Structure 1
C-alpha cells in the first residue's frame, strides 16, 4: 500500500511544508508588525520556494494573527504566488486575554468568524486546508460539520484536517463530516520519538510510559490521512543548536547525525528530516524555522530519505532512545 493522501487528492505534492509560526514578530498584542517582518517573511518564502516547498502552515493564533498578516503582505506583493502554493491554517485555540484562561473552542460560533479573520489577514479568498487546532473536550461533531459544510459551500475552505488527535477522536468527528479528514498534525522528531516507541513497546512494561495513542500510525495509513510532523527539526538539537542541558542520548545522536551527514555529503537538517520521511507512512515534516539558511539546509531531505538504509534508521533510533531495542 503506497501512502500518498495529499497527492492522491490533488491537494499538494510538496514533501516538506514551511511552518509560519515564527513570522510577524512578537506575541504581544500591543506590538504591530513592521516592514522588516514582511521582508523576513519574503526571504523565508523565497528560500522555501527555491527548494520546492509549496505548502505553508499557519494558525490564527501565531504571533496573535501577525504571522498571517505579514504572509498576506507577501501575497499582495506577489499576486501570482497564491495560485502556486497551498495554504493551510488552524482554528480552535483561544489565547488568554488576561481575564479568561487559554482554552479550546470548536463551536460553530467560533470557527466561522475565525476563518473570516484568517482570510482577511492573508488577503485570500480561500484556504486549501483548515485544521482544528488540538482536541476540544467539548467538541460536538454535528455542529462542527455544520460549520465545515458552510465553509465548503461558500468556497472559503476546500479541505479539512485536525491536529494532535487520536484514532478515536478522528472517528468520532469523521462520522458527522461529509468530507474526509485529510491531515493530522502531530509532534514527531528524533527527539520526540514516542510515535515509534508506542509500536515497539507492545506487550512490554516500557509501554506503560508511552504517551502516544495506540494504533494511530497504522490508523492514519489505513485511512489515507496525511501525517504532518510539527517540530521535526527538534529545535536544532541535532543540527547545531544543542540544548543547555542536553542528555547523553541527545549529545550522542547529534554526533551520529553529523557523522552520517558528512559521509553523505549533506546537512544535519537533511538527515534529521530524512529519518522521519523514511517511514512508510510518508510523513510530511512541517519545518518551523524561518531562517533562509536553515530552510535551504533542508533541501536534500527527500533524497536522503531514499538513500537512508534500514541500518542507519535503526541506529539513529536506538541512539535517540538512549536504550537498545526491547
Structure 2
C-alpha cells in the first residue's frame, strides 16, 4: 500500500489506518483473520482508544494475534486517551495512567503514536507537556498528536509541548465536509460560509499535521452510512458510475475521494470486514480526476458558489 510521512515525523505510514473500535464484536478467530489479513495487505497501522469497549478492544486485538516482539515490530500502533465517563481529562496523572493501561492491554512496551482524544476545556497545557516528556523519555510513546481539536487549541498545546503534534483526527466524509465547504464560501452570506472549526484543514496543511478522517463513510453523527442509502440517491449514482469506470467497488471510490485531497490525509476505517477493508486499501491505487472529485462533492448536495 502507498505510504506517507506522518506529520513532520520520519514515520512512514500506510495511507489507510485500520480503526479497531468495533473489534470487540468479533470472535477470536475472526479478529485474528482480520488483523493478519490487514497486515498482509500493507494496512499495518492500527488505531485504538482506551474507551473503545471500555478497554476490551485493545485486549482482544493483542490476544487475537498473540502479541509478541516479532509481531509488534511489524505494525504501527496508535491509541487515544482523555475521555472519561461524563467528562474529559488531560491531566498529567490521567494521561500517564491511561498510557500504562493501554500498554498493558496491548501487551507492548510502547505506542508509536498517542493522541489526546476530545478537547478538555480544563486542560493545563503545562501538565500535558510534563506527561509527554515523561512518556517520551521512558520510551513508552514515540510520537504525539490530537483528535477533534481546532487551531487555537493546538496552538495552546504547542506553546508548552516541545514534541511535534503529528496528527489530528477529525470527522470528515463526502457528506460531512464542512471543513472543505467553508473554504469555498469565504465572506459569503450563507450557511456554508460559517467557519465552524477555525479553518482546521488549512491550519493542518500549513503546520504539516496529518489529518486522520474518522467515520469516512458516515453521514451525520453516526446516523448511518451514505453508501447505498436512499437518503443520497444522486451521490450513490455518481459514485457507482465512477466505480464502474475504474472497475472497483463504491467503497473504494468513496475512500479515493478523501485520498485525492492534497492535504495527504490518512482516513481511519471502521469496518471489521476484511473484504471491505481490502476495498478501502485499493483506493490507494486510484487517483480521481479533478472533475470526478468535484462531481462527487456536488452530488452529495454540496453547492459551489
TM range (shorter): over 0.9
Normalised by the size of structure 2, how large is the TM-score?
0.92
SS of the residue aligned with 1:175? Answer: helix
1:285 equivalent to 2:285? Answer no
What is residue 13 of structure 1 aligned with on the other side? Answer: 13
Q: CA deviation at 1:10?
A: 2.2
Alignment of 1:48-127 (within 5 A): 48-76=38-66, 79-95=69-85, 102-127=86-111
CA distance in 2, matches of 1:47, 1:277: 22
TM-score (norm 1): 0.87
In structure 1, distance between residues paired with 2:77 and 2:180: 29
Q: Which residue of the partner structure matches residue 179 of structure 1?
A: 163
Structure 1 residues 212 and 54: CA distance shift in structure 2, 3 A: farther
State the 1:89 CA deviation.
0.2
1:206 offset after TM fit, Å? 1.9
CA contact (8 A) 1:133 1:162 kept: yes
**Structure 1 residues without counterparts, runs of 5 or longer:** 26-35, 96-101
Between the aligned partners of 2:76 and 2:302, the Cα distance in structure 1 is: 40
Aligned match of 1:319: 299
Q: How many residues get paired?
A: 299
Mapping of residues 133-152 of structure 1, within 5 Å: 133-152=117-136
Q: Is the 8 A contact 1:197 1:210 kept in 2?
A: no
Any residues of structure 2 matched to 1:200-239 within 5 Å, and which? 200-207=184-191, 210=194, 212-234=196-218, 237-239=225-227
Of 151, 175, 186, the match for 1:191: 175
Following the alignment from structure 1 to structure 2, what is the Cα–Cα distance between the partners of residues 269 and 7?
26
TM-aligned CA deviation for residue 283 of structure 1:
0.9
RMSD across aligned positions (CA): 1.9
Contact 2:45 2:75 in 1 (8 A): yes
| Superposition deviation, residue 38 in structure 1 | 2.3
Counterpart in the other structure of 1:298: 280
